Structure 1
Amino acid sequence: MISVLVVDDSAMMRRFLTQIFERAGDFKVRTARNGEVALELLGEASYDVVTLDINMPGMDGLTCLSHIMTETPCPVVMVSSLTEKGALATLEALELGAVDYIAKPGGTVSHNMQEVEEELLNKVRTAAAAKPRFRSLDIHPTPAEAAPQKASEDLGAGSEREAEGLILVGVSTGGPSSLETLLAGLSPQQQWPVLIAQHMPATFTGVLAQRLNGLCALPVMEVTKPTPLLAGRVYMAQGDKDIEVRRRAGRLMAVPQPQDAERPWHPSADRMVESALEVFAPQQLIGLLLTGMGDDGARAMQNLQAAGGRTLAESEESCVVYGMPRALVEAGGADQVLPIEAIPAQLKRWLLSSA
């Protein structure tokens, strides 16, 4: 049995969530009406997973999460609204160490949680086996503080050189933290742009791109329309869609596409890599598969490696969930397996050898 502590100030939401877990049959549930009560209960007993509402009176979800991660670390799944404000708070929670999140389909008090019942159960089961990792939010520069760094790199309007190659990144659970570490280690002078397929709703990918743009030296943007792929830039696929690499009117473009219903994960890393192989020679591509549950990207990156491209998987030691990288490693499709902190240096070595 998986022991779950449900923390929400709404009695109705506590009842909805409890009913979902009890119907599943493999959960033991206890509830808390606010952050203070949750911390008391965590001090008395251990739980496999905590589901934590973000918006609560008194001690809010982020404050409660920071106490959990420093005092009684355990896997936490945030429950948030699908608003821009909710998305920003959720990303901050992931930075603090939350394993994953569930977006309420109907606002703060959702009467239709059954719409996300399967997703909720899958994410909580996965979280029970995940490794929580605490990170203090105050270690990061604000967008205003990061602006001089960008200016000092003389980015200006950015390079207008077309991509000579492409770095393709597939990532899911635990992605925001890993992406920050990856991008912070890359130089704006690099020749190859980065295209990212992060499994997230559209409300979240736009906020994540803005956040990463403020924290990293590389310019980061969400791809909401056909966009030229230029050197030294980072492109994030829009959530709830897929992304393809195409050549249009002689230009290399990242092109949003409607979801392929036959693929379970979106934006699809497999589809992204497959499309890139139709445009670039394999030697012009580097595939990265980072933390996340499932196996999205493994098949396409295995094919990329077999064709002569280079591939890299994040190692288990730094993954929140060692699912997607594991699938690539077990298929024999990873040239390198490294913790996230070591990946930027390896990319630089590969890029220098390709110059």
Structure 2
Amino acid sequence: MRTVRYGEPHNKIRVLIVDDSLYMRRMLRRMLESHPGITVIDEAKDGVEAVAKCISLNPDVMVLDIEMPKMDGLSVLRDTMMKRPLPVVMFSSLTQRGSKITMEALSMGAVDFVPKPVSRGLVPLVARELCEKVVQASRARLRVQELRYRHETERGKKLRVSNGKAPVNTLVVIGSSTGGPQALEEIIPNLPADLPAAIIICQHMPRGFTASLAKRLDMLSALEVREAADEDVLEPGVALVAPGGYHLRVDKSSGNGHGVYYVYLDEGNAVHGVKPSVDVTLFDAGSLFKANLMVVILTGMGFDGAKGAWAARKAGARVICQNQETSVIWGMPKACYEAGGCEELVPLDDIASAVEEFCTNR
């Protein structure tokens, strides 16, 4: 995988809209041009036109629909990343199929995605989110796959063994946002099935999309990966993805004088504007696991995770952050580093080995 640093935006961020629906193109144009720093330079009604206009117009960011005639969004993304890499924000439907394809797009190099509004009342919120993500995308550092077509055939599944309800003493909490799904695909599949630790993944995503993320990571990994459910017990070799729309809390039962660690879902208010919040999970995990906790803060905008990582480190946890050179958006790692919570900045390619080393040496 190679890293592409996209140039600084011009006076205004030049956006190409790609959608087969005239209605959606007009709505997207209104949304984007409500922001003073964004201008829509053109529109494309299908994938073939989109690829041609990317090459001829040289936009700063492309907003791309998934399902289109002639050439679908994934094919457009693949061609664009080969011929003229640029930041892409997917505009995706909130359906099971839409969320699955969105995960594939993020894996292929799309910077972020915005769910399409399901009602007229949500349009202003979606417009604000879309503009924010386009601005962030224009500053993104792309990690472009060298089009190695993954053989997504249950990689590592044959290595699995049943974990039962084995007690866990070590926990890894991974926090990520923009660029996170692609980064997670560089980490989780490179961990062994018999990792002697549980993993919690807090990725900023809405409901529905986290389930698709968990399924995709599970398909690629030797570890078992699933979306967390209320009162799931933490087990070695199992990674739980915090479901969108909930904070994932951690606690310990008091049964049989020993107890087990488990998670529960919290529908409380968003923290830092997100739910799940990495901070919420880390405050629990740090107080329970102390020196047996490893915190990994990956690429993403904002500062979620900085306070929780600092508190966890004070309690004895090991805290690492993805370095700037390999981050799509160096926001969350930077905030953690500047707050004093981060011990070490680590390139993405080295994070899996750092996690494995920590877990096997407890």
Do both share a fold (TM > 0.5)? Answer: yes
1:334 alignment partner, one of 322, 342, 351:
342
- Out of 151, 157, 160, which is 1:150 matched to? 157
Q: Distance in 1 between matches of 2:216 and 2:147?
A: 12
Give the root-mean-square deviation of aligned CA atoms: 1.7
**TM-score, length-scaled by structure 1:** 0.93
- Cα deviation for residue 353 of structure 1 reads 2.8
For residues 210-221 of structure 1, the aligned pairs below 5 Å read 210-221=215-226
Offset at residue 134 of structure 1 (A): 2.3
Cα distance 1:176–1:262, how it changes in 2: closer, same or farther (>3 A)? closer
Match of 1:123 among 102, 127, 133: 133
Identity among equivalent positions (%) equals 35
Aligned-pair CA distance for 1:138: 5.5
Aligned-partner Cα distance in 1 for 2:307–2:169: 24
Deviation at 1:141, TM superposition (A): 3.0
Deviation of the 1:159 alpha carbon: 4.8
What displacement does 1:213 show?
0.8
Q: Aligned partners of 1:33 and 1:85: how far apart in 2?
A: 21
Structure 1 partner of 2:101: 89
1:290 and 2:298 aligned = yes
1:1-355 map, 5 Å: 1-29=12-40, 30-106=42-118, 113-135=123-145, 139-143=149-153, 145-146=154-155, 149-151=156-158, 153=159, 155-248=160-253, 249=255, 250-280=259-289, 282-354=290-362
Amino acid at match of 2:233: P
Q: What code does the residue aligned with 1:27 have? A: I
Answer with 164-173 or 134-143: which moved more. Answer: 134-143
Report deviation, 1:115: 3.1
Secondary structure of the structure 2 residue equivalent to 1:133 = strand
1:136 is displaced (CA, Å) by 6.0
Partner of 1:317, secondary structure, is helix
User: Partners in 1 of 2:242 and 2:122 — Cα distance?
Assistant: 28
Q: Which amino acid aligns with 2:111?
A: V
18-27 or 119-128, which moves further after superposition? 18-27
* TM-score, with length taken from structure 2: 0.91
Give yes or no for contact 1:245–1:254 (8 Å, CA) kept in 2.
yes
SS in 2 for 1:279: helix
1:277 CA drift (Å):
2.4
Q: Distance in 1 between matches of 2:144 and 2:323?
A: 18
Aligned-partner residue type, residue 163 of structure 2: G
Partner secondary structure for residue 312 of structure 1: strand
CA offset at residue 114 of structure 1?
Answer: 2.5
Compute the displacement of 1:193 (Å).
0.7
Q: Which stretches in structure 2 are left out of the alignment for 5+ residues?
A: 1-11
In structure 1, distance between residues paired with 2:95 and 2:266: 23
Contact 2:285 2:312 in 1 (8 A): no
Cα-to-partner distance string for 1:265-312 (whole Å, 9 max, x where unaligned): 2211000000112322x1011110001111110111012112221100
Asked if 1 retains the 8 angstrom alpha-carbon contact of 2:304 and 2:332, the reply is yes
| Contact persistence 1:95–1:136 (CA under 8 A) | no
- Contact 2:32 / 2:130 at 8 angstroms: preserved in 1? no
**What SS does the corresponding residue of 2:320 show, helix, strand or coil?**
strand
- What are the Cα deviations for residues 79-117 of structure 1, in whole angstroms up to 9, with x where unaligned? 01000100011111111110000100228xx79532311
Decide whether the 8 Å contact of 2:270 with 2:276 is kept in 1: no
CA displacement 1:32-90 (0-9 Å, x = unmatched) = 11122222222222111000000111111111111111111110000010001000111
Change (3 A) 1:261 1:111: closer
Spell out, residue by residue over 1:106-138, the C-alpha distance to the aligned partner (whole angstroms, 9 max, x if none): 28xx79532311111110000000022322676
Range with greater deviation from structure 2 (293-302 or 332-341): 332-341
Say if 1:307 and 1:251 are closer, same or farther in 2 by CA, change over 3 A: closer
Deviation at 1:352, TM superposition (A): 3.1
| Equivalent AA in structure 1 for residue 97 of structure 2 | K
Q: Does structure 2 retain, via aligned residues, the 8 Å contact 1:298–1:324?
A: yes
Indicate if the aligned counterparts of 1:291 and 1:325 stay in contact, CA closer than 8 A.
yes
Shift of 1:3: 0.5
8 Å contact from structure 1 (residues 80, 102) kept in 2: yes
Q: Which amino acid aligns with 1:185?
A: N
Q: How many residues were matched structurally? A: 346
